[in-house]
Amino acid sequence: MKRHLLATLVLCGLLAFASPGWSLTINSGAINVGSQDPLHSPNGSALLADSGDQTEINWVNTVLGTSFTIPDMTKYDFVGPATAVDGNPGIVAFGLADEPSWFFIKIGTGSLPAGTPDHYLFDNLAALDWGVVALSALNITEVGRFSHVGELGGTNGTNGVPEPATLLLLGFGLVGLWGFKRKFKK
């Protein structure tokens, strides 16, 4: 039994320290930005009639089934910088202000084909203080098309997203406690 406990502790320790190795980096590996944030599914993109706060909040609430209000949103003009992820210039990372659960990007549609979405909603999963997106998911090739970013559900709002490795460690701990209880019941 002691060997099993030791093996579980070693595995948990390895998982806790190994998780950054699975992350994307920028600046030649100096900064860990987590992983690529997925476009929210379904309806993670839309061509909205305008970029007003109420229009954007209504769209987000419809997609997520939430009831955010304008004060729940942090919205700012995108001034950058956005940095290409090491080894993949088609994926960019940029800092987020409030560690949000979700963020959306509004792009300028200028020369894009008619009907191309101009708002894209992402689930912010790994490093909550970084947005990491593939430009191809936005139907663009350069960051200069970013107009503004909106953040929801962060330190300004609600619904923080737990880190997956933390949940895994919690699960191992609960299984370990269940094992100890079972051993001492015998």
Q: Per-residue pLDDT tens for 111-163?
A: 888 889 999 999 998 889 999 999 999 988 888 899 999 999 876 544 444 45
pLDDT number for residue 127: 86
Nearest Cα to 125, choosing from 63, 43, 32, 37?
Answer: 37
CA 19 to chain centroid, in Å, comes to 16
Q: Which of 11-20, 40-49, 138-147, 176-185 has the highest mean pLDDT?
A: 40-49
Torsion angles phi and psi, residue 62, rounded to 5? -65, -45
Q: Please state, in angstroms and rounded to a whole number, the distance separating the CA atoms of residues 75 and 53.
A: 8
Return d(Cα 66, Cα 100) in angstroms, integer. 14
The pLDDT tens digits for 158-186 are 444 445 666 677 778 888 878 777 777 76
* pTM of this structure: 0.72
